[in-house]
Amino acid sequence: MTADFQDWARSHQVRIENSLQTLLPAADVAPERLHEAMRYTVLGGGKRVRPLLAFAAGELNKANEERVTIAAIAVELIHVYSLVHDDLPCMDDDVLRRGKPTCHIEYGEAIALLTGDSLQSLAFQLLAEYSLADTPKMQLEMIRRLAQAAGSRGMAGGQAVDLASVGRTLSLPELEFMHIHKTGALIRAAVMLGAYCGSRLDEAQLAALDHFAKCIGLAFQVVDDVLDAEATTAALGKTAGKDAENNKPTYVSILGSKRARELAEELRREAYASLEMFEAAAGRLRQVTDFIIHREF
């Protein structure tokens, strides 16, 4: 990671954090406990990978950063809601997330359920409330994209496949299907929403960008599996080794660590290739790609 990228990432993480502080309901507004729980789960945590992708995609076509901030936050809120629900006892039953007790450990299951539900609503509220694209029609397309990415044929659908896979042996294509939905759909939405905030891209550019996003979505998950298998709980800020413990199929359990790392590298090359037509304008997207593939937590 170059120092230039570190500065950029840091400043955009701060921008996201500050905007979230303002956009989330204050903890002294009724219902206080729910708002407190929403702030607890969203603020001060995470690498903000999806927002960084949205900002980097926005640099392709000179998107206004205030617009991208809202779009990036909407995607991040969907991501955090999914973590809160995923950690519930009826799902992964996890107690640690981003180095803190999970939402239901801190606030109880009922409030955690409502926290996730409310974060999803807030994401769509923000996308509808602010002016984010050159036309309201394009903005509707952003909402449609995010809703589809979040729903049963996107992220939530991927979680359903994940549930059904516990204890089963999956083939590599089945594992890929699961992750394209569970993680990939939202990462694609982050990239596309960032780009929609800027000047219009042509069909070929949108297709290339979408293929780029698919590649890094998968690469992200492959690296996640490697880290889950190899890193410590302290380094991850969430419980390590959960996949093996839960008997969940992963890229590491199917391919082994070495081959999984190679696969991540292949996906990185394919992602880079998709960006060629953008030349220098895709510099930031290349840096975020490297960050995703070479991260250690």
Chain residues that interact with its own copies, rule: CB under 8 A: 25, 29-31, 33-35, 38, 81-82, 85, 88, 90-91, 108-111, 113-114, 116-118, 120-122, 124-125, 127-129, 135-137, 139-141, 143-144, 147-148, 150-154, 156-157, 159-161, 163-164, 177
Q: How far is the CB of 94 from its own copies (least distance, A)?
A: 13
Helix (H) / strand (E) containing 202:
none
Q: How far is the CB of 121 from its own copies (least distance, A)?
A: 3
Q: How far is the CB of 43 from its own copies (least distance, A)?
A: 15
Helix (H) / strand (E) containing 121:
helix 109-129
CA distance 255 to 12: 35
Locate 36 and state its tokens.
């407190």
Q: How far is the CB of 35 from its own copies (least distance, A)?
A: 6
Nearer to its own copies, 37 or 68 (CB): 37
CA distance 55 to 195: 8
**Cis before residue 31, ω within 30 degrees of 0?**
yes
Q: What is the widest separation between alpha-carbon atoms in the chain?
A: 51
Nearer to its own copies, 10 or 153 (CB): 153
Q: How far is the CB of 146 from its own copies (least distance, A)?
A: 8
Nearer to its own copies, 30 or 280 (CB): 30
109-129 vs 136-150: helix crossing angle, rounded to 10: 160
| Residues 243, 248, 252: CA angle, nearest 5 degrees | 70
Task: Return the closest-CA partner of residue 47 out of 187, 249, 248.
Answer: 187
Residue type at 266 in one-letter notation: E
Nearer to its own copies, 16 or 111 (CB): 111
| Residues 45, 48, 54: CA angle, nearest 5 degrees | 155
Nearer to its own copies, 52 or 84 (CB): 84
67 Cβ contact partners less than 8 Å away, ≥ 6 residues apart:
58, 130, 131, 132, 133, 197
Nearer to its own copies, 26 or 277 (CB): 26
Q: How far is the CB of 159 from its own copies (least distance, A)?
A: 6
CA distance 197 to 191: 10
For tokens 């419980």, the residue is 239
Q: How far is the CB of 30 from its own copies (least distance, A)?
A: 7
Nearer to its own copies, 186 or 227 (CB): 186
